[in-house]
Amino acid sequence: MARQRVAVIFGGRSGEHEVSILSARSVMAALDPDRWEPVPFGISREGGWMTPVETRRAMAAGANCFAAQGKPLLAAGEALGELGSCAVAFPLVHGPFGEDGTLQGFLELAGLPYTGCGVAASAIGMDKALMKALFREAGIRVTRYAVVRAWELADGLEPATRYLEETLGYPCFMKPANGGSSVGVTRVASREDIAGAFAAAIAYDDKVVIEQAVKGQEVECSVLGNEHPEVSVAGEIAPDREFYDYDSKYSSESRTALHIPARITAQTSDSVRELALRMYQVMGCEGYARVDFFVTAEGDVVANEINTIPGFTNISMYPKLWEASGVSYKQLLTRIIALAFDRHTRKER
């Protein structure tokens, strides 16, 4: 069987640019060389599309950031020609302009099979306010939350502060509605933290989600599949600080611990895995996604969010959970690509 070309698309304009490059390096190194030929497409911080030659050159130089490279999408004829020669795309652009349905919509218009969730699930998965509203409507327990728009702060912080204190209280977490990797997230312990927290969140989005803090374990499941998805064992994140922030996730000095399986009872694990499957299907996910929860000391399971393009290095939680479930990293990538072809064939039919 001839090898098929896989377009690995990564980088992008979001605050998770560097994380995306790490994921792409890992995926390209692990793809089965007998079946797949990885073709890299870097996207600069400014949104320029780089050709595979330009991308390989930058990666060989050890670049962890693509700045001021490539051409705007509509002017990137050479890169688009190369993209059209690929059999399938593997988008690894985290955050806005990649994980939010925009890149998925472009690939749909191009008629190119792609891995992961479709347009609607990707868009909902990126917007934490829409996601929580959908889960709440479906009867899935989520932490109490509020949404504040940037324009609502034009007359000062006092109205939003009073609303926060009356509905959620302290501590709470403030974050951009559209974002990931804990970029722009602040733990708010008192009134004194509010101005800085709003500033940090609004730097990335004009819609801010404020969540009541939940005291409990951070538990995650990996889900894989289209019409008949499967769920991995549950794993647990034990942060090395007050909350699982960007440095706790990615710093080489982080002492955050991963526990696989999670340190929860068998009954609670079953509940987590069942709820992961329900959340995945309620949101209309396909391909793959990671589902995150809080588990309280009483064993109550609270839905947190779904990540439709989770970190994909060989030490990231998504592939590690499948490895613990008996699926190797290389096998996992092949299954994800096969699901992309299956969905594309189904939609064409």
CA distance 99 to 150: 22
pLDDT band at 239; cut points 50, 70, 90 = confident
Q: What is the DSSP string of 162-203?
A: HHHHHHT-SSEEEEESB--TTTT-EEE-SGGGHHHHHHHHHT
Average pLDDT over residues 132-158: 91
The per-residue pLDDT for range 261-319, each reduced to its tens digit, is 999 999 999 999 999 999 999 999 999 999 999 999 999 999 999 999 999 987 899 99
**CA nearest to 114, candidates 341, 346, 347:** 341
CATH for 124-141+215-348?
Answer: 3.30.470.20
CATH architecture of 145-212: 2-Layer Sandwich (3.30)
Q: Where are the beta strands (DSSP E) in 196-334?
A: 207-212, 217-224, 230-231, 235-238, 257-259, 288-295, 301-307
| Window from 116-125, 137-146, 197-206, 258-267 with minimum mean pLDDT | 197-206
Higher pLDDT, 181 or 100: 100
Average pLDDT over residues 243-259: 61
Mean pLDDT of the chain: 92
Residue 218 is predicted with a pLDDT of 95
Higher pLDDT, 21 or 250: 21
pLDDT band at 152; cut points 50, 70, 90 = confident
Percent of the chain, pLDDT > 90? 77
Residue 247 has pLDDT above 70, yes or no: no
The per-residue pLDDT for range 24-33, each reduced to its tens digit, is 999 999 999 9
Residue 245 is predicted with a pLDDT of 47
Residue 181 has pLDDT above 70, yes or no: no
Average pLDDT over residues 97-121: 96
CA distance 111 to 348: 9
pLDDT band at 96; cut points 50, 70, 90 = confident
Residue 66 is predicted with a pLDDT of 94
Residue 314 is predicted with a pLDDT of 78
Structure-token pair, residue 347? 């939609």
For the chain, the structural domain boundaries read 4-114, 124-141+215-348, 145-212
**Within the chain, what is the greatest distance between any pair of CA atoms?**
65
Percent of the chain, pLDDT > 70? 95
Class of domain 4-114: alpha beta
**CA nearest to 101, candidates 86, 88, 120:** 120
CA distance 159 to 177: 20
pLDDT band at 222; cut points 50, 70, 90 = very high
